[in-house]
Amino acid sequence: MTGPAAETKMQFLYALRSRGVTEKRVLEAMESVDRGKFVRGIFSDRSYEDMPLPIACGQTISQPSVVGLMTQALQLSGRDKVLEVGTGSGYQAAILARLARRVYTVDRHARLVREARLVFDELNLTNITAMVADGSFGLPEQAPFDRIIVTAAAEDPPGPLLAQLKIGGIMMVPVGQSDAVQTLIRVHRTETGFDYDEIRPVRFVPLLEGLGKDV
Ligand code: SAH
């Protein structure tokens, strides 16, 4: 991270560790990607606090510790092809890009995709492909994926996403009503089916159908 002062950076990393982000490679990735690049306007001076913040199109950039925990739970090997549903600011995709081979990220808002691409270019993150799409259908042309991460809350893990997960693959998805506390679920695809583990309570904006109106 080049942006913040050394003390701010230490506090940021301390907050991550104290909330359970302990894997070295994940912490290194989060240290190297400046969250300040993904937050605009009046909230930019709060970029290094462990809290979600508003971004364009009425959406939010996730809380850093939640980004860290979801990334950790994906158990990336460095060779993975990952799908993220819900580009938002692009911050989660940037962290994934440090730890995976290739990241596809989709959002239903064209403006968010456009702005995230500019930051990916600026940070020289060349292994991310950001696209406008309704991610509830996944990305059939690039499937199957080693890992899938959904950063918006679904009522159930979407069927097309389950179908696009490789055997041995892992998907992280917050499940529950959008106006309530949701449960972060980890899905393992096995030879015979799917195993589901409840990880922790979370709060995400809803996974919505169709494309955003700013297209
Ligand atoms: N991962 C983001 C935060 C995402 S907020 C970050 O790091 O900043 C959730 C995002 O999911 C929003 O940008 C919203 O537009 C998007 N979203 C909601 N429903 C969607 C859908 N069906 N397909 C694609 N994106 C969707």
Q: Consecutive sets of 10 residues in the chain, 215 residues long: mean pLDDT of each?
A: 82 97 98 96 92 94 97 98 98 98 98 98 98 98 98 96 98 90 96 96 94 78
Q: Is residue 175 part of a domain?
A: yes
State how many domains the chain has.
Answer: 1
Q: Is residue 211 part of a domain?
A: no
Which active-site residues does the annotation give? 62
Q: Is 107 in the pocket of ligand 1 (CB under 6 A)?
A: yes
The residue whose CA is least distant from atom 17 of ligand 1 is 86
Ligand 1 midpoint to CA 195 (Å): 25
Q: Is residue 53 part of a domain?
A: yes
pLDDT at 187: 98
Q: Is 86 in the pocket of ligand 1 (CB under 6 A)?
A: yes
- Residue to mutate, 30, 43, 59, ligand 1, most ligand atoms under 8 Å from C-beta: 59
pLDDT at 213: 85
The residue whose CA is least distant from atom 16 of ligand 1 is 86
pTM here?
Answer: 0.97
Ligand 1 midpoint to CA 62 (Å): 10
Ligand 1 midpoint to CA 105 (Å): 9
Distances (CA, A) of 148 to 94, 128, 165, 172: 15, 14, 7, 6
pLDDT at 4: 87
CATH number for the domain harbouring residue 135: 3.40.50.150
Q: How far does CA 84 lie from the centroid of its chain?
A: 6
pLDDT at 2: 55
Helix axes 91-99, 64-73, angle to 10 degrees: 40
Q: Is residue 179 part of a domain?
A: yes
Q: Is residue 80 part of a domain?
A: yes
Q: Is residue 123 part of a domain?
A: yes
Q: Is residue 207 part of a domain?
A: no
DSSP string, 115-153: HHHHHHHHTT-TTEEEEES-GGG--GGG--EEEEEE-SB
Q: Is residue 209 part of a domain?
A: no
Instruction: Return the residue matching tokens 């230490």.
Output: 10
Give the domain extent around 10: 6-202
